[in-house]
Chain A
Amino acid sequence: MKNFHGIIFAYSAAPELRELVTHRTAASMPIFGRYRVIDFALSSLMNAGIHDVGVIMQRDYQSLMDHVRSGKSWDMSRKDGGIRLLPPFGMPGYHSGNYFGTMEALNGVGDYIRDIPQKYVVLLLGSMCANIDLNAAGEQHIRSGAPITAICSTTTPPTAQHRYIVGEDGFVKTARFYREGDEEGYTSMEGYIIDKELLVRMMDACAAENHYRFHRDAIAAYLAAGGKMGVYLHEGYYMPIRSVDLYYRANRDMLDPDKRHDLFTPERPVRTRHHSLVSTYYGESAVSSNSLVGDNCRIYGTVENCILSSEVVVEEGAHLRDCVIMRRTTIGRDASLECVIADKDCVIAPGTALKGSEKLPLVIPKGSNI
Chain B
Amino acid sequence: MKKSCIAMLLAGGQGSRLYALTQDVAKPSVPFGGKYRIIDFPLSNCANSGIDTVGVLTQYRPLKLNSYIGNGQPWDLDVSDGGVYILPPYLGAHEQGSWFSGTANAIYQNIAFIEMYDPDNVLILSGDHIYKMDYAEMLRAHQENDAACTIAVQQVSMAEATRMGIMSVDEHDLITEFEEKPKQPKSDLASMGIYIFNWKKLKAALIADENDPNSSKDFGKNIIPNMLGAGERMLAYRFRGYWRDVGTITSLWDANMDMLSTDQINLFDPDWPISSRSPICPPHYAGKDAKIIHSIVTEGCEIYGEVENSVLSSSVKVGEGAKVLYSVLMPGAVVEDGAVVEYAIIGENTVVGRGAHIGAAPDGTDSWSVATCGPDITIRSGAVVPAAAMIYTGEEV
Interface contact B74-A295, CB-CB below 8 Å = no
B355 at the interface (CB under 8 A from A): no
13 additional contacts (CB under 8 A) given A33-B283, A279-B311, A282-B296: A34-B280, A260-B282, A264-B282, A272-B280, A276-B275, A276-B276, A278-B33, A280-B298, A281-B262, A284-B293, A288-B290, A292-B282, A293-B283
A161 CB, nearest partner CB in chain B, Å: 26
**23 A-B residue contacts at CB 8 Å?**
A34-B282, A34-B299, A270-B280, A271-B280, A276-B74, A276-B273, A278-B33, A278-B34, A278-B296, A279-B34, A279-B297, A280-B296, A282-B294, A282-B296, A285-B293, A286-B293, A287-B291, A288-B286, A289-B288, A289-B289, A291-B286, A293-B285, A294-B299
A12 CB, nearest partner CB in chain B, Å: 27
B383 at the interface (CB under 8 A from A): no
A277 at the interface (CB under 8 A from B): yes
B322 CB, nearest partner CB in chain A, Å: 16
Question: Which residues of B (60-83) have their CB < 8 Å from a CB of A?
Answer: 73-74
Quick one: CB contact mask for A275-319 with B, threshold 8 Å, 1 for yes?
A: 011111111111111111111100000010001111000000000
Question: Which residues of B (229-280) have their CB < 8 Å from a CB of A?
Answer: 259-260, 262, 267-268, 273-276, 278, 280
Q: Which residues of B contact A (CB under 8 A)?
A: 33-35, 73-74, 259-260, 262, 267-268, 273-276, 278, 280-299, 302, 307, 311-313
Q: Which residue of B lies closest to A272 (CB)?
A: B280
Interface contact B295-A34, CB-CB below 8 Å = no
A140 CB, nearest partner CB in chain B, Å: 28
**Which 10 pairs show the lowest CB-CB distances between chains A and B?**
A279-B34, A33-B283, A288-B286, A279-B296, A276-B275, A294-B283, A279-B298, A292-B283, A278-B267, A282-B292
A204 CB, nearest partner CB in chain B, Å: 41
B43 CB, nearest partner CB in chain A, Å: 12
Q: Please, how many angstroms separate the alpha-carbon atoms of A234 and B206 in the complex?
A: 64
Interface contact A292-B284, CB-CB below 8 Å = yes
A308 CB, nearest partner CB in chain B, Å: 7
A291-B285 in contact given A271-B280, A282-B297 (Cβ < 8 Å) = yes
Q: Which residue of A lies closest to B278 (CB)?
A: A274
B33 cross-chain contacts in A, Cβ below 8 A: 278-279
Interface contact B292-A288, CB-CB below 8 Å = yes
Interface contact A281-B260, CB-CB below 8 Å = yes
Interface contact B294-A307, CB-CB below 8 Å = no
Q: Is the interface of B mostly helix, strand, loop or mixed?
A: loop
A214 at the interface (CB under 8 A from B): no
Q: Please, how many angstroms separate the alpha-carbon atoms of A274 and B299 in the complex?
A: 12
A212 at the interface (CB under 8 A from B): no
Partner of A289, one of B34, B259, B287: B287
A81 at the interface (CB under 8 A from B): no
Q: Please, how many angstroms separate the alpha-carbon atoms of A257 and B307 in the complex?
A: 20
A280 cross-chain contacts in B, Cβ below 8 A: 284, 296-298
